Amino acid sequence: MAVTNHIRRSMIFLNTQRAALVKEAFVYHPDCVIFDLEDAVAEGEKDSARIQLYQTLKNVDYQGVERWVRVNALDSDLINEDIRAAVAGGAEGIRLPKTETAAEVQAAADKIAAAETEFNRPVGKTMMMAALESPLGIMNAYEIATASDRMMGIALSAGDYTRTMHAKRTVAGTELFGARSQMLIAARAAGVMAFATVYTDTDNEAGFVDELRLIKDMGFDGKSCINPKQIGVTHAVFNPSAAEIKHAEHVMQAVADSKANGVGVLTVDGKMVDIAWVEGAQRTLKLAQAAGIYKGALV
Amino acid sequence: MTISFHHHLRDGDYVVNMVMKEIHKLGIKDLTVCASSLGKAHDYLVPCIEDGTVTGISTSGIRDEIGEVVSKGKLKHPAVIRSHGGRARAIEDGTIKIDVAFIGASTSDVYGNASGKGGKSDTGVLSYADGDAKYANRVVVITDTIVASPNFPASIEGVDVDYVVKVDSIGDPAKIATGALRLTKDTRELNMAREVAKCMYHSGYFKDGFSFQTGAGGSSLATTVFLKDYMQQADIKCGWAMGGVTEPIVDLFKAGFVNKVLDDQSFDLAAVASAHQPGHFEISASQYANPFNKGAFVNQLNFVILGALEVDTDFNVNVVQGSNGVLRGAPGGHPDTAAGADVTIIVAPLIRSRMPTVRDRVTSITTPGESVDIIVTDYGVAVNPNRQDLLAAFKDTTIPLKTIEELRDLAYQYAGKPAPVEFDDQVVALVEYRDGTIIDTIRKPKHLN
Amino acid sequence: MQTIKQAVAGTVESSDAQVMILPQAGGLKITLDSSVYDQYGQHIIALIIETAQALGLDDALIKVVDKGALDCTIKARVETAYYRAIGQTTNLPWGCSKWQ
């Protein structure tokens, strides 16, 4: 699996057709950008967006923000050129839309490998993620997540999914409960990351925060964003709180102490601590460090 | 001969054009217009400049058509660009001798006790006309609403007034106070505003009873939102806020986060309405910003948050001249508040379309770098190295510190280094610093030939 | 000489540029209308010529309306207009030296 240390709390979609959007989206400090060649780009501007993508990847320093490209669907006649442009430009990853089977991931991976060879890039370096947008995609989540060593993660895309499920979009997200749970289980079993669908009501910050809290508590790694203003809010929810950091520090300190003293039972902040929590504490501190809010040495 | 105007009627002003048309009819030539500011509503000055009716201008704002015609060198004498405090000083120390002051007023009684409050064209305050009324040889109050005597409290006192002229209308109320100086929804501007508030919070000056002023630009104004959060967090209140007053300031005032408002200009309807309330005080331009009087409030400011067209690596700021050399701005209270405040914060995007804000040299200096402490951009925050205290205070915070040279390098990396604009020898404007010294000269750009 | 038809790419939105390529014999001719002409006009014209020549476009009128676009966008719009003008949408020579 494409496991890296990069944190991916936020992945913001940018319409690559629009010069003003792609020229300096890094100033919003997202963890990742997704240059979109698919739905956001008008049919007649696919060529233009692709060339803008290539020039942006080549010439604009994105200051460490991870650059993903959402290519057009596998069954379109656009994907080959999309992948060639993205790989030639040096994108960190390709996001495959409307994924339903492992075979599709493998087919796209083959195209990426061919492009890497053509453009003299290290073969296997370009990561992949797959968007699951249908009941079949959700059913096959584990196979999709394990279909290629390039796979970094899977993402839910709720628009088409909800339609196919004959479900209604609700504020609470009840209709997505099954899909979220199932894909998250698949992602964890496969050892890849899991990302939640976009929140389209960009003026409803309170609703957005509620949804962020829900998906964070469920275990998601990050959120797809469609407006720069969602980035700061997303990070605020995904970042560990000061209290969480403090507690994680105490846990790690207690582990160190118990190792030194040879005591088997951990007690932290007056409570017994299960050894299973240690991994969580470690993850909290790592995330806090990567987010720039923890400078301690206990990571 | 010098005649004067104020700009409280802003883009809705009828007075300047009305008076200039009459003067034009009379065939009077070679006038100097001493306005507190000029804008879109004063375009009748353009033909007056072109035919020599007006040969000199003293103003803060110089933009739009007037900015163009002056940039082209059509005005006989170089325009003198003065800050609000500088103009008050120049009137009081006799640098400017006003022969006739034309003062548009929302209401007046027949003896000339005049006010910015009430009537058909409520401007809230008449701060910039105070010196004109006290120091001009002849004072003419122009109003569309005569009220019973005494029209108290009066911004302009009848004892100073020679004539009261009633006209049908002094201005278009819809353009005098805009209803819509709304807070920005632009994420980039809000992010910068958040950094500004963070700088204030960590500066060491953020204490109960602190004072501040913000400009009316998107990010400056939006700072108020984040200030409220920080005030709650620190459990403190603001003693007073000053300035061009706007709705966000009024909202803080109403919510009890700001104890008093000192108003030299009401920018929007909420500010005009608030000017009628207790605790919201009208101050004169001299009280506001005159460097040579004994109690100017700018000297008591803890913080001022201002915009910039350009900033250079010596922290000099230009808010008057576009990067293409054409006059398109106004010092307003920029150099005055920057000189007076404990902490002067400039907030601006690093690159506008592809024009770098931070650069080697500003096209012309409005506010000297020695009075500028912090530059907040969307690419990072630079602190003037003169302010080691601030650098120390920000050390362990999440404020994304960079040097001013690093910001310039980033701007050039993304936008490319701009080629210098070429200028003729002809001087078209002088930028006068608040104390009366000339801080820069502005020449005619060659591309306007 | 290549056979080209008239083609246009880009928009006149802020930070974008609109590039029109018209068939015309007798070398490259550039017209530029730019919101940042005084500071970047010469640079942009040189960039347009360099990009066109790298593409092998030697005879054309290129009309550009620039709204403060960065170099990468100006190049991209010229390239897009060129490939539209010659009617090629796939198998573009990404990554070859003339695309840097």
Interchain pair B414, A229: CB under 8 A: no
Interchain pair A51, C15: CB under 8 A: no
Q: Is C88 left (phi over 0), alpha (psi -120 to 50) or beta?
A: beta
- Which residue of chain A comes nearest to C83, CA vs CA? A47
Instruction: With CA atoms as reference, report the closest residue to B139 among B112, B166, B116.
Output: B112
Q: B227: domain range?
A: 187-415
Disruptive mutation site among A48, A84, A87 for chain C (greatest number of C CBs within 10 Å) = A48
Residue C45: CB atoms within 10 Å? 17
Task: Say how far apart CA A118 and CA C96 lie, in whole Å.
Answer: 10
Band (pLDDT 50/70/90 cuts) for residue A5 is low
* Coil vs helix vs strand at B306: strand
β-partners of residue A153 are A129, A193
Residue B179: CB atoms within 10 Å? 10
Write down the pLDDT at residue A177: 93
Task: Say how far apart CA A283 and CA A299 lie, in whole Å.
Answer: 8
User: Strand B351-352 relative to strand B343-347: parallel, antiparallel, unpaired?
Assistant: unpaired
CB C26 within 8 A of CB B435: no
- Which residue of chain C comes nearest to A56, CA vs CA? C72
Smallest CA–CA separation between C20 and chain B, in Å?
A: 21
Q: Which of B149, B176, B203 is the last residue of a domain?
A: B176
Specify which of A5-14, A262-271, A273-282 reaches the highest per-range mean pLDDT: A5-14
Q: What residues contact B132, with CB distance under 8 A and at least 6 apart?
A: B4, B6, B91, B98, B101, B103, B139
Nearest to A228 among B187, B379, B413 (CB): B187
CATH at residue B128: 3.40.1080.10
Band (pLDDT 50/70/90 cuts) for residue A2 is low
Interchain pair B416, C43: CB under 8 A: yes
Write down the pLDDT at residue C96: 72
| Structure-block tokens of residue C20 | 């029109």
Smallest CA–CA separation between C34 and chain B, in Å?
A: 11
In a domain, B194, yes or no: yes
β-partners of residue A88 are none
Task: Say how far apart CA B387 and CA B284 lie, in whole Å.
Answer: 31
Write down the pLDDT at residue A155: 97
Same domain, B155 and B193: no
Q: Which of B152, B176, B200 is the last residue of a domain?
A: B176
- Which residue of chain B comes nearest to A28, CA vs CA? B188
- The predicted-structure confidence for C51-99, as pLDDT tens digits, reads as follows 999 999 999 999 999 999 999 999 999 999 999 999 998 999 998 755 5
> One-letter amino acid identity for B357?
T
If one counts the domains in chain C, the total is: 1
DSSP per residue, A12-42: EEEETT-HHHHSSGGGG--SEEEEE-STTS-
Same domain, B20 and B89: yes
Q: Which of B176, B208, B223 is the last residue of a domain?
A: B176
Sheet of B358-359, strand order: B317-318, B310-312, B358-359
Which residues of A fall within a CB distance of 8 Å from C13? 18-20
Task: Say how far apart CA A156 and CA C22 lie, in whole Å.
Answer: 45
Q: Is C27 left (phi over 0), alpha (psi -120 to 50) or beta?
A: left
CB B131 within 8 A of CB B287: no
Smallest CA–CA separation between A57 and chain B, in Å?
A: 13
Interchain pair A81, C70: CB under 8 A: no
pLDDT at A102 over 60: yes
> One-letter amino acid identity for C78?
V
The neighbours of chain C, by the rule of 3 or more Cβ pairs under 8 Å, are A, B
Which residues of B fall within a CB distance of 8 Å from C37? 324, 447
Residue B213, φ and ψ in degrees, nearest 5: -140, 140
Disruptive mutation site among A24, A55, A59 for chain B (greatest number of B CBs within 10 Å) = A24
Task: Give how far Cα B296 sits from Cα of A223, B173, B289, Å.
Answer: 52, 31, 5
| Structure-block tokens of residue B358 | 């931070």
Question: Tokens 């584990």 map to which residue?
Answer: A142
Task: Say how far apart CA B267 and CA B177 lie, in whole Å.
Answer: 6
The neighbours of chain A, by the rule of 3 or more Cβ pairs under 8 Å, are B, C
Which residues of B fall within a CB distance of 8 Å from C15? 353-354
pLDDT in single tens digits along all 449 residues of chain B: 999 999 999 999 999 999 999 999 999 999 999 999 999 999 999 999 999 999 999 999 999 999 999 999 999 999 999 999 999 999 999 999 999 999 999 999 999 999 999 999 999 999 999 999 999 999 999 999 999 999 999 999 999 999 999 999 999 988 887 655 678 889 999 999 999 999 999 999 999 999 999 988 889 999 998 999 999 999 999 999 999 999 999 999 999 999 999 999 998 889 999 999 999 999 999 999 999 999 999 999 999 999 999 999 999 999 999 999 999 999 999 999 999 999 999 999 999 999 999 999 999 999 999 999 999 999 999 999 999 999 999 999 999 999 999 999 999 999 999 999 999 999 999 999 999 999 999 999 999 98
Q: Is B190 within 8 Å of chain A by CB?
A: yes
Angle at C16 between CA B323 and CA B181, to 5 degrees: 65
CB A156 within 8 A of CB A183: yes
Write down the pLDDT at residue C98: 58
Nearest to B353 among C36, C37, C43 (CB): C36
Interchain pair A229, B190: CB under 8 A: yes
**DSSP structure class, residue B12:** G
Write down the pLDDT at residue A294: 86
Instruction: With CA atoms as reference, report the closest residue to B354 among B308, B417, B415.
Output: B415
Task: Say how far apart CA A90 and CA A99 lie, in whole Å.
Answer: 23
Same domain, B312 and B255: yes
Q: What percent of chain C has pLDDT over 70?
A: 94
Same domain, B158 and B232: no
Instruction: With CA atoms as reference, report the closest residue to B354 among C15, C12, A58, C77.
Output: C15
**For residue A135, cis peptide bond before it (omega within 30 degrees of 0):** no
Which residues of B fall within a CB distance of 8 Å from C42? 419
- Which residue of chain B comes nearest to C44, CA vs CA? B416
- The predicted-structure confidence for A236-274, as pLDDT tens digits, reads as follows 999 999 898 998 998 888 888 877 777 667 778 878 877
Residue B341, φ and ψ in degrees, nearest 5: -75, 150
Return the higher-pLDDT residue of A297 and B364.
B364
pLDDT at A209 over 90: yes
In a domain, C69, yes or no: yes
CB A11 within 8 A of CB C3: no
Band (pLDDT 50/70/90 cuts) for residue A1 is low
Same domain, B240 and B374: yes
Task: Give how far Cα C22 sits from Cα of A9, C29, C60, C62, C74, Å.
Answer: 47, 10, 6, 6, 17
Q: What residues contact B37, with CB distance under 8 A and at least 6 apart?
A: B7, B59, B60, B61, B128, B330, B332
**Going along A201-276, which residue ranges are E strands?**
222-225, 266-268, 271-273
Q: C34: domain range?
A: 7-87
Measured in residues, chain A has a length of: 299
Q: What is the torsion angle, in degrees rounded to the nearest 10, for the CA atoms of residue B333, residue B338, residue B342 and residue B346?
A: 110
**For residue B150, cis peptide bond before it (omega within 30 degrees of 0):** yes
β-partners of residue B166 are B143
DSSP per residue, A156-216: E-HHHHHHHTT----SS-GGGHHHHHHHHHHHHHHT-EEEEPP---TT-HHHHHHHHHHHH
Write down the pLDDT at residue B321: 97
Q: What residues contact A130, with CB distance under 8 A and at least 6 apart?
A: A95, A96, A99, A104, A105, A137, A144, A145, A151, A154, A155
Task: Give how far Cα C53 sits from Cα of A131, B117, B300, C6, C48, Å.
Answer: 41, 66, 62, 17, 9
- Which residue of chain A comes nearest to B188, CA vs CA? A28
If one counts the domains in chain B, the total is: 2
Mean pLDDT for all residues in chain A: 93
Same domain, B242 and B127: no
Q: What is the torsion angle, in degrees rounded to the nearest 10, for the CA atoms of residue A36, residue A40, residue A42 and residue A43?
A: 60
pLDDT at C100 over 90: no
Nearest to A51 among C11, C80, C91 (CB): C80
**DSSP structure class, residue B374:** E
CATH at residue C31: 3.30.230.10
Widest CA span in chain B: 67
* Coil vs helix vs strand at B261: strand
Measured in residues, chain B has a length of: 449
Nearest to C92 among A48, A56, A81 (CB): A81
Nearest to A229 among B187, B379, B398 (CB): B187
> One-letter amino acid identity for A136?
L
Nearest to C83 among A18, A47, A89 (CB): A47
Write down the pLDDT at residue A259: 77
- Given CA atoms A192, A198, A199, A203 in this order, what sign does their dihedral have? positive
Which residues of B fall within a CB distance of 8 Å from A23? 414
**Lowest-confidence segment of A52-56, A171-175, B21-25, B224-228 by average pLDDT:** A171-175
The 3-state DSSP composition of chain A as helix, strand, coil percent (nearest 5) reads 50, 15, 35
The neighbours of chain B, by the rule of 3 or more Cβ pairs under 8 Å, are A, C
CB B340 within 8 A of CB B296: yes
**Going along B22-168, which residue ranges are E strands?**
31-35, 54-59, 79-81, 100-105, 107-108, 114-115, 138-143, 163-166
- The predicted-structure confidence for B348-365, as pLDDT tens digits, reads as follows 999 999 999 999 999 999
Interchain pair B419, C39: CB under 8 A: yes
User: Strand A127-132 relative to strand B163-166: parallel, antiparallel, unpaired?
Assistant: unpaired
